């Protein structure tokens, strides 16, 4: 069975198995999904005399002499060979006498590599060697090149793959794709596709667009979508809390607002309200750009719950965000007679006890908090709506932990990280989505400029004018290659530099600070105690300081576009004219220039996310925490956008009809192949 875990495998010395499984995965199937990245072409076979200098050739030769280098010299080990038509010298670096033992004079070998030297004295440096008794057609072919790790060689992978392919050939699962689809796409049977991935006959077979690879990409995306849809169906099986359409509070809120809701806000709210009134539990994602007004959308959902005599909970990833949501809500909702509360990690014992009691007996309508909300001692009287901010900072388990405290509550997830549709389908495929794209009217656009780091002194000097207007400045320090300590050093240095120019007006914020310290600095800045906030990237999430009008980001070229967009979103939140200055260190690569130009040209987070995905690939767009959700083995989220949509459609069709035993077996095989064991189990039981 290819789904067994690898304990031993042909070609891999037992003590290298852990290293090997770390590279490819721990099942035989994973070996099959570890496909070559390129290939070496050994198809040009020549006699030595005819082998063109500069070309990669395969030749059959006999060893006539070994020439060992002098001891301790760095010179190569030379082997003289001939094939009767001419002489060829093979050069090996960093080798020792074992080579002579292994290949004594008289040995016949296939050698392969680039011919160097003069017409008469031909040589190959570090040729690849194959036993001379191997038949020509097994040597003169395309040799796959696999991604490797230290200690694992191509040869090991050839052997391991060959034995796994043999196991695969004995599997009995039928193809899960319909003959009609295969015919239409000109795709091969799955066994043939996998076989071909490892045994390319042509350079084109290594192309991601080749029929075999497209088929496997589709398989992977299909497995993914089947898993997501199944999880969704499972969750819908149990009826959720069905709210009744009562909008007294929501109407009152609308009347109390000094502005009208944007069309996007209204549409999102309507979609949510409709979902909440269904028996089917809601699982909806609200995606909105920074400042697009998601908060009101979340609050409007809560009001429907409360009009139904229920409670709502909102979980945010950091304390400062929870506080911000709480304070914003209080301002709007207390005048309507609602009772909001905040649950913090650190609270006075008495205060905490009272909050928990009030929550348990229904005296609190809406509770805001961090992870503190999922602690065991938190109980609700009647929780029917859960709102989760910045979902990607929470796992699915945390979402479930909170919902399990309620009466099959509806779930609303909000994220300020715009994700291109294809990516969101892959990452959040199970969620219905509402988009809040349009910004409320009356925002002055942020002017973004791109400058070299050399301008830093004059930029620092010009802050004086900003401060004089009673406005505030964010100064984000360079991201130093994934080292928090180095990030901190850079921030500290910048803090000292600015604090010299503007004594007592500069605050420092960094990731090494305790959450309470961070909150204290942030609060002081928010209250205007400091005018300049120097920070590492910790200010990223939605903190709101309306007086901040200038964002300076050093080494902007090192940041992901999505991250720059998030950072820039910290300014331009009020009516004041705002600026963003992106500093870079020359020379800037072509791509680097293109990326910063995008930031200069647009404030549309969705467009930026789309471009970011195009330029850098999916990991960056979602941020590191989330990229784990969309790591694919074969499919390419960018290149295969169309396939994602097709796979989703195909998955829906599959699940819409009852399955025969044979279909179940083949789909289970597919799901297992791509490590969706949970989904495979569901398919079996459902
Ligand atoms: P985000 O989507 O980043 O959470 P917020 O909900 O914080 O955005 O909204 C940003 C600001 O816009 C808030 O000050 C809010 O009061 C204001 N706002 C929200 N909706 C509207 C609207 N329809 N018209 C005018 N201002 C609005
Ligand atoms: Mg419902």
Span from the CA of 369 to the centroid of ligand 1 (angstroms): 21
Residue 259, domain member (yes or no): yes
Domain containing 427 equals 248-436
Average pLDDT of 334-354? 93
Each residue of 178-193: pLDDT tens digit?
999 999 999 999 999 9
**CB of 423 closer than 6 angstroms to any ligand 1 atom:** no
Average pLDDT of 141-170? 92
**CB of 323 closer than 6 angstroms to any ligand 1 atom:** no
pLDDT surpassing 90 at residue 478:
no
Cα–Cα separations (whole angstroms), residue 666 to 175, 385, 574, 661: 6, 39, 57, 9
- Residue 562: what pLDDT? 79
Burial label for 266, CB within 10 Å (0-12, 13-18, 19+), is: middle
Q: Within the chain, how many helices (H) and strands (E) appear?
A: 26, 22
Residue 509, domain member (yes or no): yes
Residue 160 and residue 133 share a domain: no
The vertex-486 CA angle with 623 and 559, nearest 5°, equals 30
**CB of 293 closer than 6 angstroms to any ligand 1 atom:** yes
Residue 579 and residue 453 share a domain: yes
Lay out the sheet containing 383-389: strands in order across.
340-343, 366-369, 311-315, 383-389, 410-415, 283-288, 432-436
Where does a domain end: 406, 436, 466? 436
Which of 293, 316, 434, 436 for a ligand 1 pocket mutation test, highest count of atoms within 8 Å of Cβ? Answer: 293
Q: What percent of the chain has pLDDT over 70?
A: 92
Compute the Cα dihedral for 50, 52, 55, 61 and give only its sign: positive
pLDDT band at 427 (very low <50, low <70, confident <90, very high): low
Is 324 within 8 Å of 542 (Cβ atoms)?
yes
- Least confident span in 341-355, 401-415, 553-567, 603-617: 603-617
Q: What percent of the chain has pLDDT over 90?
A: 57
- Residue 622: what pLDDT? 46
Residue 212, domain member (yes or no): no
Average pLDDT of 625-653? 77
Average pLDDT of 518-534? 90
Residue 456 and residue 413 share a domain: no
CB atoms within 10 A of CB 376: 7
Higher pLDDT, 402 or 573: 402
Average pLDDT of 522-533? 91
For residue 499, give the 3-state DSSP assignment: helix
- Residue 507: what pLDDT? 94
Residue 545 and residue 408 share a domain: no
For residue 452, give the 3-state DSSP assignment: strand
Which residues, other chains included, contact 424 with Cβ-Cβ below 8 Å and sequence gap of 6+? Answer: 285, 287, 433
Where does a domain end: 436, 459, 476? 436
Instruction: Give the position, in ligand 1's atom list, of the atom nearest the Cα of 265.
Output: 23
- Residue 677: what pLDDT? 76
- Residue 321: what pLDDT? 83
Residue 405 and residue 288 share a domain: yes
Residue 171 and residue 151 share a domain: yes
Within 13 A of 497's CA, how many CA atoms are on the CB side?
A: 15
- Residue 621: what pLDDT? 46
Which of 264, 267, 286, 291 for a ligand 1 pocket mutation test, highest count of atoms within 8 Å of Cβ? Answer: 291
- Residue 624: what pLDDT? 36
Q: Which CATH number covers residue 323? A: 3.40.50.300
Residue 281 and residue 361 share a domain: yes
**CB of 316 closer than 6 angstroms to any ligand 1 atom:** no
Which residues, other chains included, contact 599 with Cβ-Cβ below 8 Å and sequence gap of 6+? Answer: 448, 450, 556, 561, 564, 565, 568, 580, 582, 608
Residue 458 and residue 395 share a domain: no
pLDDT surpassing 90 at residue 380:
yes
Residue 253, domain member (yes or no): yes
Instruction: Give the position, in ligand 1's atom list, of the atom nearest the Cα of 261.
Output: 23
Residue 573 and residue 481 share a domain: yes
Distance in Å from the first CA to the final CA of the chain? 24
- Residue 572: what pLDDT? 83
Range among 11-15, 212-216, 278-282, 608-612 rated most confident: 212-216
pLDDT band at 437 (very low <50, low <70, confident <90, very high): confident
Q: What is the rounded CA–CA span in Å between residue 215 and residue 35? A: 14
Instruction: Give the position, in ligand 1's atom list, of the atom nearest the Cα of 288.
Output: 2
Give the number of the ligand closest to the Cα of residue 386.
Answer: 2
Residue 459 and residue 596 share a domain: yes
- Residue 538: what pLDDT? 66
Higher pLDDT, 518 or 462: 462
- The total number of structural domains in the chain stands at 5
Structure tokens at 570: 């910290």
The overall longest dimension of the chain from CA atoms, in Å, is 100
pLDDT surpassing 80 at residue 135:
yes
pLDDT band at 539 (very low <50, low <70, confident <90, very high): low
Average pLDDT of 272-285? 93
Average pLDDT of 466-474? 93
Instruction: Give the position, in ligand 1's atom list, of the atom nearest the Cα of 262.
Output: 23
pLDDT band at 308 (very low <50, low <70, confident <90, very high): very high
pLDDT surpassing 60 at residue 648:
yes
Q: What is the rounded CA–CA span in Å between residue 156 and residue 13? A: 9
Residue 451, domain member (yes or no): yes
- Which residue is closest in CA terms to ligand 1's atom 16? 293
Helix then strand then coil, % of the chain, to nearest 5: 45, 20, 35
Residue 610, domain member (yes or no): no
Span from the CA of 439 to the centroid of ligand 1 (angstroms): 8
Instruction: Give the position, in ligand 1's atom list, of the atom nearest the Cα of 574.
Output: 14
Residue 416, domain member (yes or no): yes
Residue 162 and residue 117 share a domain: no
Each residue of 390-423: pLDDT tens digit?
766 666 667 778 888 999 999 999 987 777 776 7
Residue 457 and residue 409 share a domain: no
Where does a domain end: 563, 587, 602? 602
What is 134-188 written as a DSSP string?
S-HHHHSSEEEE----TT--HHHHHHHHHHHHHHHHH--PPPSS-HHHHHHHTPP
Average pLDDT value for the chain: 88
pLDDT band at 628 (very low <50, low <70, confident <90, very high): very low
pLDDT band at 627 (very low <50, low <70, confident <90, very high): very low
Range among 143-152, 425-434, 478-487 rated most confident: 143-152
Give the number of the ligand closest to the Cα of residue 276.
Answer: 2
Instruction: Give the position, in ligand 1's atom list, of the atom nearest the Cα of 569.
Output: 3
Residue 213, domain member (yes or no): no
For residue 326, give the 3-state DSSP assignment: helix
Which of 295, 325, 412, 548 for a ligand 1 pocket mutation test, highest count of atoms within 8 Å of Cβ? Answer: 295
- Residue 678: what pLDDT? 72
**CB of 367 closer than 6 angstroms to any ligand 1 atom:** no
Range among 338-342, 627-631, 634-638, 673-677 rated most confident: 338-342
Higher pLDDT, 684 or 223: 223
Each residue of 592-609: pLDDT tens digit?
888 899 999 998 888 888
For residue 471, give the 3-state DSSP assignment: coil
**CB of 542 closer than 6 angstroms to any ligand 1 atom:** yes
Average pLDDT of 625-632? 48
């Amino acid at each position: 069975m290819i789904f067994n875990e690898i304990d031993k495998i042909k070609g891999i010395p037992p003590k290298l198995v852990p290293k090997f499984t770390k590279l490819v995965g721990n099942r035989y199937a994973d070996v099959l999904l570890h496909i070559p990245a390129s290939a070496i072409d050994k198809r040009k076979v020549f006699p030595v005399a005819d082998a063109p200098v500069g070309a990669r050739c395969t030749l059959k030769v006999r060893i006539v002499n070994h020439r060992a280098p002098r001891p301790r010299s760095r010179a190569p080990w030379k082997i003289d060979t001939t094939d009767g038509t001419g002489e060829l010298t093979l050069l090996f670096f960093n080798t020792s006498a074992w080579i002579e033992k292994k290949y004594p004079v008289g040995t016949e070998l296939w050698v392969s590599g680039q011919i160097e030297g003069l017409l008469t004295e031909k040589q190959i440096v570090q040729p690849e060697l194959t036993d001379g008794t191997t038949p020509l057609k097994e040597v003169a072919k395309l040799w796959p090149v696999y991604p490797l790790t230290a200690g694992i060689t191509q040869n090991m992978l050839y052997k391991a793959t060959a034995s796994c392919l043999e196991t695969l050939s004995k599997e009995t699962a039928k193809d899960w794709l319909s003959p009609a689809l295969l015919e239409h796409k000109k795709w091969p049977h799955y066994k043939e596709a996998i076989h071909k991935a490892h045994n390319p006959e042509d350079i084109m077979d290594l192309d991601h667009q080749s029929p075999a690879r497209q088929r496997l990409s589709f398989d992977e995306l299909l497995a993914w979508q089947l898993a997501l849809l199944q999880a969704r169906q499972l969750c819908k099986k149990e009826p959720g809390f069905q709210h009744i359409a009562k909008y007294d509070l929501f109407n009152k809120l609308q009347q109390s607002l000094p502005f009208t809701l944007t069309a996007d806000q209204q549409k999102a709210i309507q979609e949510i309200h409709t979902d909440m009134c269904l028996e089917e539990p809601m699982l909806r994602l609200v995606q909105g750009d920074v400042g697009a007004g998601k908060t009101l959308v979340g609050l409007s959902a809560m009001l429907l719950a409360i009009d139904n005599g229920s409670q709502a909970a909102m979980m945010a990833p950091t304390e400062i965000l929870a506080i911000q949501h709480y304070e914003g809500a209080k301002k709007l909702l207390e005048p309507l007679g609602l009772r909001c509360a905040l649950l913090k990690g650190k609270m006075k014992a008495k205060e905490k006890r009272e909050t928990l009691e009030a929550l348990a007996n229904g005296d609190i309508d809406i509770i805001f908090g961090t992870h503190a909300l999922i602690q065991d001692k938190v109980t609700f009287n009647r929780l029917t709506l859960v709102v989760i901010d910045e979902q990607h900072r929470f796992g699915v388990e945390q979402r479930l932990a909170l919902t399990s405290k309620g009466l099959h509550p509806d779930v609303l997830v909000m994220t300020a990280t715009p994700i291109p549709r294809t990516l969101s389908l892959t990452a959040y495929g199970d969620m219905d989505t509402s988009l809040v794209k349009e910004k409320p009217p009356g925002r002055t656009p942020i002017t973004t400029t791109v400058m070299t780091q050399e301008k830093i002194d004059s930029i620092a000097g010009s802050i004086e004018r900003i401060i004089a207007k009673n406005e505030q400045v964010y100064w984000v320090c360079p991201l130093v290659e994934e080292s928090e300590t180095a990030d901190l050093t850079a921030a500290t240095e910048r803090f000292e530099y600015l604090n010299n120019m503007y004594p007592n007006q500069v605050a420092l914020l960094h990731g090494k600070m305790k959450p309470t310290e961070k909150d204290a600095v942030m609060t002081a800045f928010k209250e205007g105690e400091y005018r300049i906030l120097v920070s590492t990237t910790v200010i990223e999430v939605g903190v709101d300081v309306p007086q901040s009008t200038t964002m300076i980001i050093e080494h902007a070229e090192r940041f992901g576009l999505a991250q720059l967009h998030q950072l820039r979103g910290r300014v331009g939140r009020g009516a004041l004219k705002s600026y963003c200055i992106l500093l870079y260190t020359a020379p800037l690569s072509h791509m680097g220039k293109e990326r910063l130009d995008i930031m200069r040209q647009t404030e549309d987070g969705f467009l930026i996310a789309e471009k970011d995905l195009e330029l850098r690939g999916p990991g960056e767009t979602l941020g590191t925490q989330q990229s784990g959700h969309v790591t694919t083995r074969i499919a390419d989220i960018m290149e295969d956008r169309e396939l994602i949509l097709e796979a989703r459609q195909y998955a829906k069709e599959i699940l819409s009809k009852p399955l025969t035993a044979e279909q179940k077996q083949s789909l289970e095989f597919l799901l297992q192949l791509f490590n969706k064991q949970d989904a495979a189990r569901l398919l079996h039981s459902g």
